[in-house]
Amino acid sequence: MPYMPTYDPRDPRYKAPYGAAASGTQVRFTLRPPRMEGYSHASMHARFESWNDQILIMKMPWQGFEEGHDLFEAELDTAGYIGLIWYSFRLEKIDGRTQDLGPYQLTVYDGMEEVPAWFGEGVTYQIFPDRFRRSRIPDPAGMVGGRTVHQSWEEFPEFRPNELGEIRNRDFFGGDLQGVIDKLDYLKGLGVETLYFNPIFEAAENHRYGTADYDRVDPMLGTNEDFSRLCREAHRRGMRVMLDGVFNHTGYVSRYFNGDESYPDQGASQSQDSPCYSWFSFAQWPRKYDSWWGIYSLPAVNENDPSYRDFIFGSEDSVVRRWLRAGADGWRLDVADELPDDFVAGIHAAARAEKPDAVVIGEVWEDGSTKIAYGVRRKHILGGHCDGLMNYPLRSAILSYFQGGGAEVFVEEMETIRENYPPFAFWSAMNSLDTHDTPRILTLLGAGGDYRDKSKEWRARFKLSSKQRRKGKALFRAAALLLFCFPGSPTVYYGDEAGMEGFEDPFNRQTYPWGYEDQELLDWYRALGRLRRRHPALRRGSIRYVQGRGPLLAFLRETEQERLLCAFNTGEEGRAFSTEEGRPRLLLGQAELSSEDGLHTILLPPRSGAVFSLK
């Protein structure tokens, strides 16, 4: 008789429905202790975190006997509740001895709202605007920030501090919106369905996270009309556009703070009569103020200020609504966990009011269901806040697996996310191998680490050797395949498909190598895009793991009409496994297949991945 645990929250025989529950759901819990252990009573303890940790204790009556196990069962009513429930069980014997199980997490979310499904189904492409493509060499004269422009697209970004020890990020390459428009067909060929832009609004720094003017596209990128034209051209090709919303801080150089007096308006640092004065918190006006992580060039805003809220989302002409009217289809919220919950909810409501199928994706680096920031459990994915999150836990799990970690760890970490997240958040996750905030995945896999013990000068000069690049590319191809096979939107950081390298910022933000792309990787990404677009099982199918030990990982993606098997081997030698799920037909990747008496054996080469359709 196979081993059967007393309780398994991921098995519907013990808990139904699976995972998070919509508010109002009756959740059934079943304990199955072996009869030989002699338990006569059971109870459940549930702590309702959002109801001031209210405790509910329920008896779990004996319900019968099955395959050598007693059955104790109870139902938990979640009506009227939204938040986390921490539950545990106590089993008792006649002699008074007890066994405790737990605690376990149950996420209860608002299931009344319908979340648009488009984001999680298709491929997203992340563009760092200054470094993707330029249509001309711009003249920075008259632009805020004292900018310089690299005349050669192939030059290296500045990374050394100036004489004051500051890294000012004022060197620009001049990537622009017209450059993106010129390459929309290229992006379409990669299977891209969503363009996600790092900030495009006027700002002094090349990363544009210190917003100077929310009403204006940075003039080096183009005009507001250029943005609307880009959206029209993208929509014509079946693509949507997502903007980066940086609402936790502005720029020191901005019409709101105006620390360097670049603007004619009176900013908060110039006059306490400024309409923006209440947006900022001064310890000693005008030079001592709250800033984002202590960076003086990024003054923190007071998100509870009524006029700031009205400006960002509270009026029909607010920032959130105006840029959706201009053509955008959604917002990615920078440092979402540093924004008050009701502020995020206000953005979400404004976005839906302006465009009912707009989506809001939040930047959160951890499990978004349990995230605590500033002492508060966040409501990111409980409904009416974020429709999905940046899936950094997936990135971490993929990186660990492809750097030699066991597949069982990957399965455990990803099943924890699937169990904790409401379905809409799991299926609308922004899944990335790397971003503007992380080293390039090809460098990490090829070099074997981020080499933080080396100097920044060393990391700036670093290039993968031929041997490192061969190893890195093999692992990278398989990791990218896993990304495209996993639920949520596979998000490509610009240039990954071309084989770009680089450690942390700014080495991960070099210019796209037009004309010097790695054609093998580019062809692979085009094949991945076709795979994702053509197979509904990868866009919206369920996931079920069939292998997960050591270097071998395999899972099924299934709809009623289609079943795909996705398999990976990160080891140094070939690995085989057998399946009775159906006869495999290779769709993409490399593998050897053999069948006998309904048992199908798949042999995967070292550092590889493959996808099969199952008959």
* The predicted structure's pLDDT at residue 598: 84
φ, ψ at 49 (rounded to 5°): -60, -40
Q: Above 90 in pLDDT, residue 80?
A: yes
Q: In angstroms, rounded to a whole number, what is the distance separating the alpha carbons of residues 362 and 328?
A: 16
Report yes or no on 398 lying in a domain. no
Q: With cut-offs at 50, 70 and 90, classify the pLDDT of residue 162.
A: confident
Helix, strand, coil in percent for the chain, rounding step 5? 25, 30, 45
In angstroms, what CA-CA distances link 352 with 90, 342, 539?
Answer: 45, 15, 23
Is residue 490 domain-resident?
Answer: no
Predicted confidence (pLDDT) per residue in 226-279, tens digit: 999 999 999 999 999 999 999 999 999 999 999 999 999 899 999 999 999 999
Q: What is the SS3 assignment for 568?
A: strand
Instruction: Write down which residue in 83, 109, 135 finishes a domain.
Output: 109
What does the alpha-carbon distance between residue 86 and residue 56 come to, in Å, rounded to a whole number? 10
CATH number, domain of 49, equals 2.60.40.10
Q: Which of 22, 75, 83 is nearest to 50 (CA)?
A: 83
- The reply to whether 172 falls in a domain is no
Domain boundary, last residue among 302, 322, 347: 302
pLDDT recorded at residue 1:
56
Last residue of a domain, one of 287, 302, 317: 302
Whether residue 583 is predicted with pLDDT greater than 90 in this model: the reply is yes
Q: Is 314 left (phi over 0), alpha (psi -120 to 50) or beta?
A: alpha
The pLDDT value recorded for residue 608 is: 98
- Average pLDDT over the chain, rounded to whole? 97
Angle value at C-alpha 216, between 212 and 220, nearest 5 degrees = 85
Question: Domain for residue 134, yes or no?
Answer: no
pLDDT at 3: 78
- Cα atoms in the 13 Å half-sphere on the side-chain side of 361: 31
Q: What does the alpha-carbon distance between residue 270 and residue 258 come to, in Å, rounded to a whole number? A: 7
Statement: residue 282 has pLDDT above 90:
yes
CA distance 236 to 246: 28
pLDDT at residue 163, as a whole number: 83
Enumerate residues 6+ apart whose C-beta is below 8 A from 163.
Answer: none
Residue 106: count other Cβ atoms within 10 Å of its Cβ. 24
Residues 6+ apart with CB under 8 A from 251: 203, 204, 205, 210, 211, 212, 257, 297, 298, 299
List the domain range (segments joined by +) for residue 592.
Answer: 542-614
Residue 328's pLDDT band, with cuts at 50, 70 and 90, is very high
- Bridge partner list, 490: 431
* Residue 71 within a domain: yes
| Residue 405 included in any domain | no
Q: Return d(Cα 381, Cα 370) in angstroms, integer.
A: 10
Strands 608-614 and 489-493: unpaired
Asked if residue 378 is part of any domain, the answer here is: no
State the Cα–Cα distance between residues 394 and 396, nearest whole angstrom: 5
Q: For the chain, how many structural domains are there in total?
A: 3
Report whether 488 contacts 394 (CB < 8 A): yes
Residue 412 inside a domain? The answer is: no
Q: Which residues pair with 211 in a beta bridge?
A: 203
Distance of alpha carbon 348 from alpha carbon 330, whole angstroms: 10
Q: pLDDT digit string (tens) for 166-196?
A: 889 999 999 999 999 999 999 999 999 999 9
Q: Report the distance separating Cα 581 and Cα 74, nearest Å.
A: 34
